Amino acid sequence: MAEQRLLFVCLGNICRSPAAEGVFLHLIAQAGLEDRFVVDSAGTGGWHVGNPADRRMRAAAERRGIHLPSRARQIELADFSSFDRILTMDDDNLQAVRALAAELGSRPGLALVEPMTSHCRRFGDQEVPDPYYGGEQGFEHVLDLLEDACSGLLETLTRD
Ligand code: 4NP
């Protein structure tokens, strides 16, 4: 089966989308499916470009045995051709990514854009909330949602 290319997107690319990338990488490593996927993350904003993931997010992930290797970057138009799916964390991210996609028009072969929570099986949340200004519990909830959504996504992508 052809390699699948996934890009996770949030606002700053230091909390939610690097966590989504790390959780998905963790799941495919456990399943021995690393060679079936290209996985990356990006932010709609550029304030944190070059930075590692937020230390609170990294610490919460490490407690679950999940490493977050990413350095922040900003999403760019080329990403719509380089990736098959772009998974957004909240409604603002979704609108921002759709606005960028509109600049490219409706060409064939561009990435499918969809909310990350559309792959949740256990949680009914519509968004992965921004944990940046909140407490410890916010990071745990982000990881709970992302573990659910990433396993649902992996199941969908490996079903056939
Ligand atoms: P993220 O969280 O979008 O999950 O990476 C944020 C990180 C930084 C900021 C906002 C959200 N910020 O405003 O700097």
Give, in order, the Cα–Cα distances in Å from 144 to each of 95, 101, 124, 149.
24, 29, 12, 9
Q: Which residue has the tokens 């949680």?
A: 123
What count of other Cβ atoms lies within 10 Å of the Cβ of residue 4? 16
How far apart CA 72 and CA 75 sit, in angstroms, is 10
Q: What is the mean pLDDT of the chain?
A: 97
Say what the pTM is: 0.97
Question: Alpha-carbon Rg of the chain, whole angstroms?
Answer: 15
**How many domains are there within the chain?**
1
How far apart CA 97 and CA 93 sit, in angstroms, is 6
Question: Is the pLDDT reported for residue 50 higher than 90?
Answer: yes
The residue contributing the CA closest to ligand 1 atom 14 is: 12
What confidence score (pLDDT) does residue 108 get?
87
Question: Is the pLDDT reported for residue 1 higher than 70?
Answer: no
Q: Is 10 in the pocket of ligand 1 (CB under 6 A)?
A: yes
93 CA: nearest ligand 1 atom: 3
> 29: domain range?
4-158
Strand ranges across the sheet with 85-88:
37-43, 4-10, 85-88, 112-115
Question: CATH code at 26?
Answer: 3.40.50.2300
Q: What are the pLDDT digits (tens) for 129-150? A: 999 999 999 999 999 999 999 9
Q: Is 86 in the pocket of ligand 1 (CB under 6 A)?
A: no
Spatial neighbors of 13 by CB under 8 A, at least 6 apart, are 41, 42, 43, 45, 48, 49, 70, 72, 73, 74
